[in-house]
Structure 1
Amino acid sequence: MSIEQLAETAQAMVAAGKGIIAIDESNATIAKRFAGVGIENTEENRRAYREMLLTTPKLGDYISGAILYDETIRQSTKAGVPFTKVMMDNGIIPGIKVDKGTFPLAGFQGEVVTEGLDGLRARLEEYYKLGARFAKWRAVINIGDDIPSGTCIEANAHALARYAALCQEVGIVPMVEPEVLMDGEHDIQTCYEVTEVTLRALFDALYNHNVMLEGTILKASMIVPGKDSGEEASVEDVAENTLMCLKTAVPAILPGIVFLSGGQSDEDATAHLDAMNRMGPNPWPLSFSYGRAMQSAALKIWSQDLVNNVRKAQDTVYARARDNGMAALGQWKSKAA
Structure 2
Amino acid sequence: MKKEQMDRIHTGKGFIAALDQSGGSTPKALLQYGIQEKSYSNDEEMLGLVHEMRKRIITSPAFDSEYILGAILFENTMDRTIESQFTADYLWEKKGIVPFLKIDKGLAELENGVQLMKPIPDLNGLLKQANEKNIFGTKMRSVIKEANPEGIRKVVEQQFDLGKQILSMGLVPIIEPEVDIHSTNKEKSEKILKDEIFKQLSALDKDSKVMLKLSIPTKDNFYSDFIDDSHVIRVVALSGGYDQKEANEKLAHNNGLIASFSRALSEGLTAQQTDEEFNTMLSHSIKSIYNASIT
Tell me the TM-score range normalised by the shorter chain: 0.7 to 0.9
Deviations 1:7-63 (A, max 9, x none): x64442254431100010004212123235334352321121010011121522101
Q: Which residue of 2 aligns with 1:18?
A: 14
Pairing 1:296–2:273 present: no
Q: Which residue of 2 aligns with 1:281?
A: none
Deviations 1:97-138 (A, max 9, x none): 011111125xx3653211234421221111111121011011
- Kept after mapping to 2: 8 A contact 1:104/1:110: no
Structure 1 position 256, deviation (Å)? 2.0
1-side partners of 2:197 and 2:211: how far apart?
Answer: 12
Structure 1 position 172, deviation (Å)? 1.0
Q: Which residue of 1 aligns with 2:58?
A: 54
- Kept after mapping to 2: 8 A contact 1:52/1:314: no
1-side partners of 2:225 and 2:14: how far apart?
Answer: 25
- Cα distance 1:9–1:179, how it changes in 2: closer, same or farther (>3 A)? same
AA aligned opposite 2:138: A
Pairing 1:44–2:64 present: no
2-side partners of 1:14 and 1:260: how far apart?
Answer: 18
- Cα distance 1:177–1:297, how it changes in 2: closer, same or farther (>3 A)? same
Pairing 1:28–2:38 present: no
Q: Which residue of 1 aligns with 2:115?
A: 112
| Equivalences for residues 117-156 of structure 1 within 5 A | 117-143=120-146, 148-156=147-155
2-side partners of 1:291 and 1:10: how far apart?
Answer: 22
Identity value in percent:
21
Structure 1 position 209, deviation (Å)? 5.2
2-side partners of 1:201 and 1:316: how far apart?
Answer: 40
Pairing 1:315–2:280 present: yes
Runs of 4+ in structure 1 off by over 4 angstroms are 248-251
Secondary structure of 2:216's partner?
coil
Secondary structure of 1:115's partner?
coil
Q: Which residue of 2 aligns with 1:287?
A: 258
Pairing 1:221–2:215 present: yes
Q: Which residue of 1 aligns with 2:192?
A: 197
1-side partners of 2:187 and 2:6: how far apart?
Answer: 26
Q: Which residue of 2 aligns with 1:72?
A: 77
2-side partners of 1:124 and 1:211: how far apart?
Answer: 23
Structure 1 position 268, deviation (Å)? 1.4
Secondary structure of 1:135's partner?
strand
Q: Which residue of 2 aligns with 1:103?
A: 108
1:87 to 86, 91, 94: 91
2-side partners of 1:109 and 1:158: how far apart?
Answer: 14
- Kept after mapping to 2: 8 A contact 1:54/1:86: no
AA aligned opposite 2:279: Q
Deviations 1:67-108 (A, max 9, x none): 00010011112x433222220121101100011111125xx3
| Equivalences for residues 257-296 of structure 1 within 5 A | 257-277=235-255, 285-296=256-267
| Equivalences for residues 179-258 of structure 1 within 5 A | 179-184=178-183, 186=184, 190-208=185-203, 210=205, 212=207, 215-224=209-218, 241-243=219-221, 245-247=222-224, 252-253=229-230, 254-258=232-236
Higher Cα radius of gyration: 1
Structure 1 position 195, deviation (Å)? 0.7
The CA RMSD measured in Å over matched residues stands at 2.4
2-side partners of 1:197 and 1:132: how far apart?
Answer: 32
Secondary structure of 1:61's partner?
coil
Secondary structure of 1:101's partner?
coil
Secondary structure of 1:102's partner?
coil
Secondary structure of 2:178's partner?
strand
User: Number of residues paired by the alignment?
Assistant: 284
- Cα distance 1:152–1:219, how it changes in 2: closer, same or farther (>3 A)? same
Q: Which residue of 2 aligns with 1:237?
A: none
